[in-house]
Structure 1
Amino acid sequence: MRLQDKVAIVTGSASGIGRGIALAMAKEGAHVAIVDVNEEKGKATFAEINQFAEGLLFIKDISIKENIEEIVTEVVKKFGKLDILVNNAHVSKQAPFMETTLEHFDLSFGTGFYPTFHFMQASYPELKKTHGKVINFASGAGIDGQVTQTSYAAAKEAIRAISRVAANEWGPDGINVNLISPIALTPGVEQWRDNAPELYDAMINKLPLRRLGDPEQDIGRTAVFLASSDSDYITGQTIMVDGGSIKLR
Protein backbone atom coordinates (compact mmCIF):
# COMPACT_ATOMS: atom_id res chain seq x y z
CA MET A 1 0.00 0.00 0.00
CA ARG A 2 2.58 2.52 -1.16
CA LEU A 3 -0.04 5.25 -1.68
CA GLN A 4 -2.19 4.60 1.40
CA ASP A 5 -4.60 7.54 1.89
CA LYS A 6 -2.94 9.62 -0.81
CA VAL A 7 -5.33 11.66 -2.98
CA ALA A 8 -4.87 11.66 -6.76
CA ILE A 9 -6.45 13.28 -9.80
CA VAL A 10 -6.05 11.28 -13.02
CA THR A 11 -7.34 12.85 -16.24
CA GLY A 12 -8.47 10.79 -19.20
CA SER A 13 -8.96 7.89 -16.82
CA ALA A 14 -12.09 6.24 -18.20
CA SER A 15 -10.07 3.88 -20.39
CA GLY A 16 -6.63 3.03 -21.70
CA ILE A 17 -3.53 4.28 -19.94
CA GLY A 18 -5.49 6.58 -17.63
CA ARG A 19 -7.65 3.70 -16.43
CA GLY A 20 -4.55 1.59 -15.86
CA ILE A 21 -2.98 4.30 -13.73
CA ALA A 22 -6.17 4.89 -11.75
CA LEU A 23 -6.48 1.18 -10.98
CA ALA A 24 -2.81 0.79 -10.06
CA MET A 25 -3.01 3.73 -7.66
CA ALA A 26 -6.32 2.65 -6.10
CA LYS A 27 -4.90 -0.82 -5.47
CA GLU A 28 -2.06 0.88 -3.57
CA GLY A 29 -4.58 2.66 -1.33
CA ALA A 30 -4.99 6.02 -3.10
CA HIS A 31 -8.26 7.92 -3.34
CA VAL A 32 -8.51 8.58 -7.08
CA ALA A 33 -10.59 11.21 -8.84
CA ILE A 34 -11.60 9.88 -12.26
CA VAL A 35 -11.81 12.70 -14.82
CA ASP A 36 -13.13 12.06 -18.34
CA VAL A 37 -15.79 13.08 -20.85
CA ASN A 38 -16.96 9.50 -21.50
CA GLU A 39 -19.72 8.93 -18.97
CA GLU A 40 -20.28 5.22 -19.60
CA LYS A 41 -16.63 4.22 -19.38
CA GLY A 42 -15.99 6.72 -16.61
CA LYS A 43 -18.67 5.14 -14.43
CA ALA A 44 -17.26 1.67 -15.14
CA THR A 45 -13.74 2.66 -14.09
CA PHE A 46 -15.11 4.50 -11.07
CA ALA A 47 -16.88 1.32 -9.94
CA GLU A 48 -13.63 -0.63 -10.34
CA ILE A 49 -11.47 1.72 -8.27
CA ASN A 50 -14.06 1.93 -5.51
CA GLN A 51 -13.47 -1.75 -4.81
CA PHE A 52 -10.07 -0.72 -3.43
CA ALA A 53 -10.41 2.88 -2.15
CA GLU A 54 -13.04 5.59 -2.15
CA GLY A 55 -12.84 7.83 -5.19
CA LEU A 56 -14.64 10.61 -7.05
CA LEU A 57 -16.03 10.80 -10.58
CA PHE A 58 -16.03 13.92 -12.78
CA ILE A 59 -17.58 13.76 -16.24
CA LYS A 60 -16.31 17.13 -17.41
CA ASP A 61 -14.66 18.78 -20.38
CA ILE A 62 -11.25 19.87 -19.14
CA SER A 63 -10.63 22.09 -22.15
CA ILE A 64 -12.73 24.53 -20.09
CA LYS A 65 -10.53 26.11 -17.42
CA GLU A 66 -13.39 26.67 -14.98
CA ASN A 67 -14.09 22.93 -14.91
CA ILE A 68 -10.49 22.28 -13.90
CA GLU A 69 -10.69 24.71 -11.00
CA GLU A 70 -13.97 23.13 -9.90
CA ILE A 71 -12.48 19.63 -9.96
CA VAL A 72 -9.51 20.60 -7.79
CA THR A 73 -11.79 22.42 -5.36
CA GLU A 74 -14.18 19.47 -5.05
CA VAL A 75 -11.38 16.94 -4.55
CA VAL A 76 -9.86 18.98 -1.73
CA LYS A 77 -13.29 19.57 -0.21
CA LYS A 78 -13.97 15.81 -0.20
CA PHE A 79 -10.60 14.48 0.95
CA GLY A 80 -8.97 17.51 2.57
CA LYS A 81 -5.87 17.52 0.39
CA LEU A 82 -4.27 16.69 -2.97
CA ASP A 83 -1.08 14.61 -3.22
CA ILE A 84 -0.87 13.48 -6.85
CA LEU A 85 -1.76 15.05 -10.19
CA VAL A 86 -1.67 12.89 -13.34
CA ASN A 87 -2.24 14.79 -16.60
CA ASN A 88 -2.95 12.01 -19.06
CA ALA A 89 -5.87 13.27 -21.21
CA HIS A 90 -5.07 14.28 -24.79
CA VAL A 91 -6.90 14.20 -28.14
CA SER A 92 -5.33 14.84 -31.54
CA LYS A 93 -5.64 14.11 -35.25
CA GLN A 94 -2.90 12.81 -37.49
CA ALA A 95 -2.05 14.55 -40.76
CA PRO A 96 1.02 14.99 -42.95
CA PHE A 97 2.98 18.12 -42.09
CA MET A 98 1.77 20.07 -45.14
CA GLU A 99 -1.84 19.15 -44.39
CA THR A 100 -1.71 20.12 -40.70
CA THR A 101 -4.01 23.04 -39.89
CA LEU A 102 -4.53 25.48 -37.06
CA GLU A 103 -7.60 23.44 -36.13
CA HIS A 104 -5.33 20.42 -35.56
CA PHE A 105 -3.17 22.51 -33.25
CA ASP A 106 -6.21 23.92 -31.45
CA LEU A 107 -7.49 20.40 -30.75
CA SER A 108 -4.15 19.03 -29.55
CA PHE A 109 -3.20 22.01 -27.41
CA GLY A 110 -6.77 22.52 -26.21
CA THR A 111 -7.17 18.97 -24.90
CA GLY A 112 -3.58 18.20 -23.90
CA PHE A 113 -1.26 21.12 -23.29
CA TYR A 114 -3.60 23.74 -21.85
CA PRO A 115 -5.44 21.36 -19.47
CA THR A 116 -2.05 20.14 -18.21
CA PHE A 117 -0.92 23.73 -17.65
CA HIS A 118 -4.18 24.79 -15.99
CA PHE A 119 -4.34 21.70 -13.75
CA MET A 120 -0.78 22.35 -12.63
CA GLN A 121 -1.56 25.97 -11.78
CA ALA A 122 -4.81 25.10 -9.99
CA SER A 123 -3.19 22.27 -8.03
CA TYR A 124 0.03 24.01 -7.01
CA PRO A 125 -1.20 25.48 -3.69
CA GLU A 126 -2.43 22.09 -2.53
CA LEU A 127 0.59 20.16 -3.82
CA LYS A 128 2.87 22.59 -1.98
CA LYS A 129 1.13 21.66 1.28
CA THR A 130 1.60 17.91 0.74
CA HIS A 131 4.99 17.97 -1.07
CA GLY A 132 3.07 16.35 -3.89
CA LYS A 133 3.86 14.69 -7.19
CA VAL A 134 2.97 15.75 -10.73
CA ILE A 135 3.06 13.16 -13.51
CA ASN A 136 2.69 14.52 -17.04
CA PHE A 137 2.86 12.69 -20.35
CA ALA A 138 5.39 12.93 -23.14
CA SER A 139 5.43 10.90 -26.34
CA GLY A 140 7.87 9.34 -28.73
CA ALA A 141 5.93 11.25 -31.38
CA GLY A 142 7.60 14.43 -30.16
CA ILE A 143 10.92 13.04 -28.99
CA ASP A 144 11.53 11.09 -32.22
CA GLY A 145 9.57 13.34 -34.61
CA GLN A 146 7.15 10.73 -35.87
CA VAL A 147 5.54 11.44 -39.24
CA THR A 148 1.94 12.72 -39.43
CA GLN A 149 2.11 13.76 -35.74
CA THR A 150 2.88 17.48 -36.09
CA SER A 151 0.23 18.91 -33.77
CA TYR A 152 0.45 16.06 -31.25
CA ALA A 153 4.26 16.13 -31.16
CA ALA A 154 4.27 19.89 -30.68
CA ALA A 155 1.86 19.73 -27.75
CA LYS A 156 3.73 16.87 -26.09
CA GLU A 157 7.08 18.63 -26.36
CA ALA A 158 5.47 21.80 -24.98
CA ILE A 159 4.28 19.73 -22.01
CA ARG A 160 7.83 18.46 -21.52
CA ALA A 161 9.12 22.03 -21.56
CA ILE A 162 6.76 23.39 -18.91
CA SER A 163 7.32 20.28 -16.80
CA ARG A 164 11.04 21.02 -16.66
CA VAL A 165 10.36 24.64 -15.75
CA ALA A 166 7.96 23.60 -12.98
CA ALA A 167 10.44 21.02 -11.71
CA ASN A 168 13.02 23.79 -11.28
CA GLU A 169 10.63 26.35 -9.77
CA TRP A 170 8.71 23.94 -7.52
CA GLY A 171 11.62 21.81 -6.34
CA PRO A 172 12.23 24.09 -3.32
CA ASP A 173 8.57 23.54 -2.38
CA GLY A 174 9.11 19.77 -2.26
CA ILE A 175 7.04 19.11 -5.39
CA ASN A 176 8.34 16.56 -7.90
CA VAL A 177 7.40 16.96 -11.58
CA ASN A 178 8.16 14.11 -13.98
CA LEU A 179 6.92 12.70 -17.26
CA ILE A 180 6.15 9.26 -18.63
CA SER A 181 6.60 8.55 -22.34
CA PRO A 182 4.68 5.28 -22.88
CA ILE A 183 3.89 2.66 -25.46
CA ALA A 184 0.90 0.60 -24.36
CA LEU A 185 -1.68 -1.85 -25.61
CA THR A 186 -4.71 0.41 -25.30
CA PRO A 187 -8.16 -0.34 -26.76
CA GLY A 188 -7.34 1.87 -29.76
CA VAL A 189 -4.11 -0.02 -30.42
CA GLU A 190 -5.93 -3.33 -30.03
CA GLN A 191 -8.37 -2.26 -32.74
CA TRP A 192 -5.49 -1.25 -35.02
CA ARG A 193 -3.78 -4.61 -34.33
CA ASP A 194 -6.91 -6.50 -35.35
CA ASN A 195 -7.28 -4.44 -38.55
CA ALA A 196 -3.62 -4.39 -39.55
CA PRO A 197 -1.86 -7.42 -38.00
CA GLU A 198 1.16 -7.24 -40.32
CA LEU A 199 1.87 -3.61 -39.44
CA TYR A 200 1.37 -4.43 -35.77
CA ASP A 201 3.83 -7.33 -35.92
CA ALA A 202 6.38 -5.15 -37.71
CA MET A 203 6.13 -2.57 -34.93
CA ILE A 204 6.49 -5.19 -32.20
CA ASN A 205 9.58 -6.64 -33.86
CA LYS A 206 11.28 -3.23 -33.66
CA LEU A 207 10.88 -3.11 -29.88
CA PRO A 208 13.76 -4.64 -27.89
CA LEU A 209 11.31 -6.19 -25.40
CA ARG A 210 9.05 -7.44 -28.25
CA ARG A 211 5.76 -6.40 -26.64
CA LEU A 212 3.61 -3.41 -25.88
CA GLY A 213 3.22 -2.22 -22.33
CA ASP A 214 0.22 -3.12 -20.20
CA PRO A 215 -1.69 0.05 -19.18
CA GLU A 216 -1.92 -1.03 -15.55
CA GLN A 217 1.02 -3.33 -14.89
CA ASP A 218 3.64 -1.40 -16.87
CA ILE A 219 2.50 2.20 -17.20
CA GLY A 220 0.38 2.22 -14.04
CA ARG A 221 3.11 0.71 -11.88
CA THR A 222 5.59 3.28 -13.14
CA ALA A 223 3.11 6.02 -12.20
CA VAL A 224 2.78 4.48 -8.73
CA PHE A 225 6.56 4.65 -8.36
CA LEU A 226 6.65 8.30 -9.43
CA ALA A 227 3.77 9.10 -7.07
CA SER A 228 5.38 7.37 -4.10
CA SER A 229 8.15 8.38 -1.72
CA ASP A 230 10.49 6.03 -3.63
CA SER A 231 10.88 8.76 -6.28
CA ASP A 232 11.51 11.67 -3.91
CA TYR A 233 14.93 12.41 -5.45
CA ILE A 234 13.73 12.33 -9.08
CA THR A 235 12.34 15.42 -10.78
CA GLY A 236 12.28 17.01 -14.23
CA GLN A 237 12.80 13.64 -15.91
CA THR A 238 11.15 11.91 -18.86
CA ILE A 239 10.81 8.22 -18.03
CA MET A 240 10.68 6.10 -21.18
CA VAL A 241 8.22 3.23 -20.56
CA ASP A 242 8.29 2.08 -24.16
CA GLY A 243 9.95 -1.34 -24.26
CA GLY A 244 13.29 0.22 -25.23
CA SER A 245 11.97 2.01 -28.33
CA ILE A 246 13.79 5.27 -27.57
CA LYS A 247 16.96 5.68 -25.50
CA LEU A 248 17.33 9.22 -24.21
CA ARG A 249 20.82 10.68 -23.86
Structure 2
Amino acid sequence: MRLSGKVAIVTGGASGIGRGISLAMAKEGAHVAIVDINEGAGETTLAEVNQYTEGALLIKDISVKENIAGIVQSVVEKFGRLDILVNNAHASRNVPFMETTMEHFDLSFGTGFYPTFNFMQACYPELKKTEGKVINFASGAGLEGQHTQASYAAAKEAIRAISRVAANEWGPDNINVNLISPIAATPGVQTWKENNPEMYEAMINKIPLRRLGDPEGDIGRTAVFLASNDSDYITGQTFMVDGGSIKLR
Protein backbone atom coordinates (compact mmCIF):
# COMPACT_ATOMS: atom_id res chain seq x y z
CA MET A 1 0.00 0.00 0.00
CA ARG A 2 2.41 2.63 -1.26
CA LEU A 3 -0.09 5.50 -0.87
CA SER A 4 -1.71 4.44 2.40
CA GLY A 5 -3.35 7.39 4.14
CA LYS A 6 -2.51 9.86 1.37
CA VAL A 7 -5.14 12.07 -0.27
CA ALA A 8 -5.27 12.65 -4.03
CA ILE A 9 -7.20 15.00 -6.29
CA VAL A 10 -7.59 13.57 -9.82
CA THR A 11 -9.11 15.92 -12.39
CA GLY A 12 -10.92 14.20 -15.22
CA GLY A 13 -10.87 11.20 -12.92
CA ALA A 14 -14.12 9.59 -14.05
CA SER A 15 -13.11 7.93 -17.31
CA GLY A 16 -10.20 6.93 -19.50
CA ILE A 17 -6.76 7.67 -18.10
CA GLY A 18 -8.24 9.54 -15.14
CA ARG A 19 -10.30 6.53 -14.14
CA GLY A 20 -7.22 4.33 -14.42
CA ILE A 21 -5.27 6.65 -12.13
CA SER A 22 -8.13 6.91 -9.63
CA LEU A 23 -8.36 3.11 -9.39
CA ALA A 24 -4.60 2.55 -9.26
CA MET A 25 -4.19 5.04 -6.43
CA ALA A 26 -7.18 3.71 -4.49
CA LYS A 27 -5.78 0.18 -4.69
CA GLU A 28 -2.59 1.52 -3.10
CA GLY A 29 -4.52 2.99 -0.17
CA ALA A 30 -5.08 6.60 -1.25
CA HIS A 31 -8.24 8.55 -0.54
CA VAL A 32 -9.30 9.84 -3.97
CA ALA A 33 -11.26 12.96 -4.86
CA ILE A 34 -12.55 12.53 -8.42
CA VAL A 35 -13.13 15.89 -10.09
CA ASP A 36 -15.10 15.58 -13.33
CA ILE A 37 -18.01 17.23 -15.14
CA ASN A 38 -19.40 13.83 -16.25
CA GLU A 39 -21.63 12.96 -13.31
CA GLY A 40 -22.78 9.60 -14.71
CA ALA A 41 -19.28 8.28 -15.33
CA GLY A 42 -18.18 9.86 -12.07
CA GLU A 43 -20.74 7.94 -10.04
CA THR A 44 -19.71 4.68 -11.71
CA THR A 45 -16.00 5.26 -11.05
CA LEU A 46 -16.74 6.45 -7.52
CA ALA A 47 -18.43 3.12 -6.78
CA GLU A 48 -15.43 1.25 -8.20
CA VAL A 49 -12.94 3.31 -6.22
CA ASN A 50 -14.91 2.84 -3.01
CA GLN A 51 -14.30 -0.90 -3.25
CA TYR A 52 -10.66 -0.24 -2.41
CA THR A 53 -10.64 2.87 -0.24
CA GLU A 54 -13.02 4.51 2.21
CA GLY A 55 -14.83 7.76 1.58
CA ALA A 56 -13.85 8.58 -2.00
CA LEU A 57 -15.30 11.87 -3.16
CA LEU A 58 -16.89 13.02 -6.43
CA ILE A 59 -16.84 16.73 -7.28
CA LYS A 60 -18.30 18.22 -10.44
CA ASP A 61 -16.78 21.08 -12.47
CA ILE A 62 -13.12 22.03 -12.82
CA SER A 63 -12.91 24.74 -15.46
CA VAL A 64 -14.11 27.75 -13.45
CA LYS A 65 -11.29 29.37 -11.51
CA GLU A 66 -13.61 30.65 -8.80
CA ASN A 67 -14.67 27.07 -7.96
CA ILE A 68 -11.20 25.60 -7.61
CA ALA A 69 -10.34 27.01 -4.19
CA GLY A 70 -13.65 25.64 -2.91
CA ILE A 71 -12.90 22.22 -4.38
CA VAL A 72 -9.54 22.08 -2.63
CA GLN A 73 -11.09 23.28 0.62
CA SER A 74 -13.81 20.62 0.49
CA VAL A 75 -11.21 17.88 -0.03
CA VAL A 76 -9.08 19.08 2.89
CA GLU A 77 -12.15 19.43 5.11
CA LYS A 78 -13.20 15.84 4.36
CA PHE A 79 -9.80 14.14 4.59
CA GLY A 80 -7.74 16.54 6.69
CA ARG A 81 -4.88 16.88 4.21
CA LEU A 82 -3.82 16.85 0.57
CA ASP A 83 -0.79 14.93 -0.71
CA ILE A 84 -1.25 14.43 -4.46
CA LEU A 85 -2.58 16.58 -7.31
CA VAL A 86 -3.16 14.93 -10.69
CA ASN A 87 -4.10 17.38 -13.46
CA ASN A 88 -5.44 15.03 -16.12
CA ALA A 89 -8.55 16.78 -17.50
CA HIS A 90 -8.28 18.33 -20.97
CA ALA A 91 -10.59 18.80 -23.97
CA SER A 92 -9.68 19.91 -27.49
CA ARG A 93 -10.62 19.65 -31.16
CA ASN A 94 -8.50 18.22 -33.99
CA VAL A 95 -8.42 20.89 -36.70
CA PRO A 96 -5.89 21.65 -39.46
CA PHE A 97 -3.60 24.57 -38.63
CA MET A 98 -5.21 26.99 -41.10
CA GLU A 99 -8.67 26.19 -39.75
CA THR A 100 -7.70 26.64 -36.10
CA THR A 101 -9.47 29.56 -34.42
CA MET A 102 -9.28 31.38 -31.11
CA GLU A 103 -12.28 29.31 -30.01
CA HIS A 104 -10.18 26.16 -30.36
CA PHE A 105 -7.42 27.72 -28.27
CA ASP A 106 -9.98 28.89 -25.70
CA LEU A 107 -11.32 25.34 -25.36
CA SER A 108 -7.91 23.72 -25.03
CA PHE A 109 -6.41 26.28 -22.66
CA GLY A 110 -9.69 26.69 -20.77
CA THR A 111 -10.07 22.99 -19.98
CA GLY A 112 -6.40 22.01 -19.78
CA PHE A 113 -3.82 24.69 -19.15
CA TYR A 114 -5.73 27.14 -16.96
CA PRO A 115 -7.27 24.52 -14.64
CA THR A 116 -3.82 22.93 -14.28
CA PHE A 117 -2.28 26.29 -13.36
CA ASN A 118 -5.15 27.26 -11.06
CA PHE A 119 -5.22 23.91 -9.25
CA MET A 120 -1.47 24.08 -8.73
CA GLN A 121 -1.75 27.52 -7.14
CA ALA A 122 -4.74 26.53 -5.01
CA CYS A 123 -3.14 23.29 -3.82
CA TYR A 124 0.31 24.67 -3.09
CA PRO A 125 -0.28 25.63 0.58
CA GLU A 126 -1.60 22.14 1.37
CA LEU A 127 1.07 20.34 -0.66
CA LYS A 128 3.73 22.34 1.16
CA LYS A 129 2.44 20.97 4.47
CA THR A 130 2.64 17.36 3.28
CA GLU A 131 5.67 17.67 0.97
CA GLY A 132 3.34 16.48 -1.74
CA LYS A 133 3.40 15.52 -5.39
CA VAL A 134 2.04 17.13 -8.55
CA ILE A 135 1.49 15.02 -11.67
CA ASN A 136 0.63 16.94 -14.83
CA PHE A 137 0.10 15.69 -18.36
CA ALA A 138 2.10 16.32 -21.49
CA SER A 139 1.50 14.88 -24.95
CA GLY A 140 3.33 13.65 -28.00
CA ALA A 141 1.17 16.15 -29.88
CA GLY A 142 3.23 18.95 -28.41
CA LEU A 143 6.56 17.16 -28.39
CA GLU A 144 6.33 16.19 -32.08
CA GLY A 145 3.99 18.86 -33.45
CA GLN A 146 1.41 16.35 -34.66
CA HIS A 147 -0.98 17.26 -37.47
CA THR A 148 -4.30 18.97 -36.59
CA GLN A 149 -3.20 19.48 -32.97
CA ALA A 150 -2.19 23.15 -32.84
CA SER A 151 -4.36 24.20 -29.89
CA TYR A 152 -3.83 20.98 -27.94
CA ALA A 153 -0.08 20.91 -28.58
CA ALA A 154 0.27 24.54 -27.49
CA ALA A 155 -1.61 23.96 -24.25
CA LYS A 156 0.32 20.77 -23.44
CA GLU A 157 3.69 22.44 -24.01
CA ALA A 158 2.55 25.37 -21.86
CA ILE A 159 1.74 22.87 -19.11
CA ARG A 160 5.22 21.40 -19.47
CA ALA A 161 6.72 24.87 -19.15
CA ILE A 162 4.93 25.84 -15.94
CA SER A 163 5.62 22.39 -14.49
CA ARG A 164 9.36 22.95 -14.88
CA VAL A 165 9.07 26.39 -13.30
CA ALA A 166 7.13 24.99 -10.35
CA ALA A 167 9.60 22.14 -9.97
CA ASN A 168 12.39 24.69 -9.57
CA GLU A 169 10.49 27.05 -7.29
CA TRP A 170 8.87 24.39 -5.13
CA GLY A 171 11.87 22.10 -4.84
CA PRO A 172 12.99 23.73 -1.55
CA ASP A 173 9.52 22.86 -0.18
CA ASN A 174 10.06 19.19 -1.13
CA ILE A 175 7.16 19.30 -3.56
CA ASN A 176 7.82 17.15 -6.64
CA VAL A 177 6.32 18.23 -9.97
CA ASN A 178 6.49 15.77 -12.88
CA LEU A 179 4.63 15.00 -16.08
CA ILE A 180 3.35 11.91 -17.89
CA SER A 181 3.09 11.83 -21.68
CA PRO A 182 0.89 8.79 -22.40
CA ILE A 183 -0.53 6.68 -25.15
CA ALA A 184 -3.48 4.71 -23.80
CA ALA A 185 -6.47 2.62 -24.82
CA THR A 186 -9.18 5.06 -23.79
CA PRO A 187 -12.86 4.91 -24.85
CA GLY A 188 -12.20 7.70 -27.35
CA VAL A 189 -9.36 5.74 -28.95
CA GLN A 190 -11.57 2.65 -29.09
CA THR A 191 -14.22 4.61 -31.01
CA TRP A 192 -11.56 5.95 -33.37
CA LYS A 193 -10.23 2.40 -33.86
CA GLU A 194 -13.66 1.13 -34.88
CA ASN A 195 -14.06 3.94 -37.43
CA ASN A 196 -10.48 3.90 -38.71
CA PRO A 197 -9.10 0.33 -38.43
CA GLU A 198 -6.31 0.81 -41.00
CA MET A 199 -5.07 4.02 -39.36
CA TYR A 200 -5.24 2.30 -35.99
CA GLU A 201 -3.08 -0.60 -37.19
CA ALA A 202 -0.59 1.83 -38.69
CA MET A 203 -0.37 3.64 -35.36
CA ILE A 204 0.16 0.41 -33.42
CA ASN A 205 2.91 -0.66 -35.81
CA LYS A 206 4.81 2.55 -35.03
CA ILE A 207 4.86 1.77 -31.30
CA PRO A 208 7.92 -0.35 -30.44
CA LEU A 209 5.96 -2.37 -27.85
CA ARG A 210 3.15 -2.85 -30.40
CA ARG A 211 0.25 -2.02 -28.09
CA LEU A 212 -1.55 0.85 -26.43
CA GLY A 213 -1.01 1.48 -22.75
CA ASP A 214 -3.57 0.33 -20.22
CA PRO A 215 -5.08 3.33 -18.39
CA GLU A 216 -4.75 1.65 -15.00
CA GLY A 217 -1.98 -0.90 -15.40
CA ASP A 218 0.44 1.31 -17.34
CA ILE A 219 -0.49 4.97 -16.89
CA GLY A 220 -2.05 4.55 -13.45
CA ARG A 221 0.89 2.57 -12.10
CA THR A 222 3.31 5.23 -13.33
CA ALA A 223 1.21 7.84 -11.55
CA VAL A 224 1.36 5.73 -8.37
CA PHE A 225 5.15 5.69 -8.62
CA LEU A 226 5.30 9.47 -9.08
CA ALA A 227 2.91 9.96 -6.16
CA SER A 228 4.86 7.68 -3.84
CA ASN A 229 8.01 8.18 -1.80
CA ASP A 230 9.87 6.17 -4.44
CA SER A 231 9.99 9.30 -6.63
CA ASP A 232 11.22 11.69 -3.93
CA TYR A 233 14.42 12.55 -5.83
CA ILE A 234 12.74 13.13 -9.22
CA THR A 235 11.22 16.47 -10.25
CA GLY A 236 10.68 18.52 -13.38
CA GLN A 237 10.72 15.45 -15.63
CA THR A 238 8.49 14.25 -18.46
CA PHE A 239 7.86 10.49 -18.35
CA MET A 240 7.11 8.99 -21.76
CA VAL A 241 4.60 6.23 -21.01
CA ASP A 242 4.00 5.56 -24.67
CA GLY A 243 5.48 2.16 -25.48
CA GLY A 244 8.70 3.74 -26.73
CA SER A 245 7.08 5.96 -29.36
CA ILE A 246 9.04 9.09 -28.41
CA LYS A 247 12.51 8.96 -26.92
CA LEU A 248 13.47 12.21 -25.24
CA ARG A 249 17.09 13.35 -25.23
TM-score exceeds 0.5: yes
Are residue 240 (structure 1) and residue 240 (structure 2) matched? yes
Shift of 1:90: 0.2
Q: Deviations over 1:158-179 (max 9, x none)?
A: 0000000000000000000000
Q: Deviations over 1:222-247 (max 9, x none)?
A: 00000000000000000000000000
User: Counterparts of 1:148 and 1:198 in 2: how far apart (Å)?
Assistant: 19
Q: Deviations over 1:74-96 (max 9, x none)?
A: 00001110000000000001111
Counterpart in the other structure of 1:112: 112
Secondary structure at 2:177's aligned position in 1? strand
User: Counterparts of 1:118 and 1:137 in 2: how far apart (Å)?
Assistant: 15
Shift of 1:196: 1.2
User: Counterparts of 1:190 and 1:63 in 2: how far apart (Å)?
Assistant: 26
Counterpart in the other structure of 1:40: 40
Secondary structure at 1:134's aligned position in 2? strand
TM-score (norm: length of structure 2): 0.99
Secondary structure at 1:135's aligned position in 2? strand
Shift of 1:66: 1.7
Alignment-mate amino acid for residue 104 of structure 2: H
Alignment-mate amino acid for residue 48 of structure 1: E
Shift of 1:194: 1.2
For the aligned residues, what is the CA RMSD?
Answer: 0.5
Counterpart in the other structure of 1:156: 156
1:196-211 alignment runs, 5 A limit: 196-211=196-211
User: Counterparts of 1:238 and 1:3 in 2: how far apart (Å)?
Assistant: 21
User: Counterparts of 1:212 and 1:218 in 2: how far apart (Å)?
Assistant: 9
Counterpart in the other structure of 1:146: 146
Counterpart in the other structure of 1:91: 91
Number of residue pairs the alignment of both structures matches = 248
Counterpart in the other structure of 1:58: 59
Alignment-mate amino acid for residue 36 of structure 2: D
Counterpart in the other structure of 2:213: 213
Q: Deviations over 1:164-214 (max 9, x none)?
A: 000000000000000000000000001111111111111000100000000
Counterpart in the other structure of 1:21: 21
Are residue 230 (structure 1) and residue 238 (structure 2) matched? no
Alignment-mate amino acid for residue 58 of structure 2: L
Secondary structure at 2:86's aligned position in 1? strand
Secondary structure at 1:78's aligned position in 2? helix
Q: Deviations over 1:25-44 (max 9, x none)?
A: 00000000011000100000
5+ residue gaps, structure 1: none
Percent same amino acid at aligned positions? 80
User: Counterparts of 1:129 and 1:135 in 2: how far apart (Å)?
Assistant: 17
User: Counterparts of 2:99 and 2:120 in 1: how far apart (Å)?
Assistant: 32
Secondary structure at 2:243's aligned position in 1? coil
Alignment-mate amino acid for residue 237 of structure 1: Q
Counterpart in the other structure of 1:173: 173
Counterpart in the other structure of 2:122: 122
User: Counterparts of 2:200 and 2:64 in 1: how far apart (Å)?
Assistant: 36
Which stretches of structure 1, 4 residues or longer, exceed 4 Å deviation after superposition? none
User: Counterparts of 1:21 and 1:210 in 2: how far apart (Å)?
Assistant: 22
Alignment-mate amino acid for residue 237 of structure 2: Q
User: Counterparts of 1:240 and 1:212 in 2: how far apart (Å)?
Assistant: 13
User: Counterparts of 2:185 and 2:75 in 1: how far apart (Å)?
Assistant: 30
112-121 or 188-197, which deviates more: 188-197
User: Counterparts of 1:225 and 1:11 in 2: how far apart (Å)?
Assistant: 18
